[in-house]
Amino acid sequence: MLHKENDRTDVGASEAVKESNLSGSTSLNSSANHTTFSESRQPDLIENVLINTGAYGAENKLMIPQLLELTSLPNARTLQQGIATERKAGALILSGSSGGYHLPSLDPESARQEMMEHERCLRARALNTLAVLKPVRRALRAVQGQIGPLSESEGGCNE
């Protein structure tokens, strides 16, 4: 059963999610259609929350405060890092320009549109990041001429 965005009072689903462990060993409900879009693997904590609350499709998205309560994660940054980790492992946790997180809709056409919007948002973010790098790269070239080339071990992000 799908729940509306504001109808998240199902304590049973919340408790089941909190009891699942972080290693992703919770078994997958064989009737869930979300595996149609991703490789065969066990869902992790955040994906399990989305499955157990029926967050299929943008209309059933969960906002960050709801996800923090259901996962017992300490803050939004930890939640976002967890979502990034699960996405890298193959989870199709979608987000769009209106905020919130959800799985692809169970309707194939809606799912296609949601995935396209998600891809557009991620692509735009990546292109904006690359554009911001241009002046940094120019400055680095000027500095490198003065102090020598930077090694790969000097700085960088862990994402």
Q: Across the chain, how many H-helices and E-strands are there?
A: 5, 2
**Is residue 70 within 8 Å of 17, Cβ to Cβ?**
yes
* Residue range 4-27, pLDDT digits in tens: 344 433 434 334 333 433 333 333
Work out the end-to-end distance of the chain between its first and last CA atoms, rounded to an integer number of angstroms.
Answer: 35
Q: How far apart are CA 129 and CA 25, in angstroms?
A: 35
pTM metric for this prediction: 0.65
Residues in Cβ contact with 3 at an 8 Å cutoff, skipping those fewer than 6 apart: 10, 53, 54, 55, 60
* Residue range 56-76, pLDDT digits in tens: 999 999 999 999 999 999 999
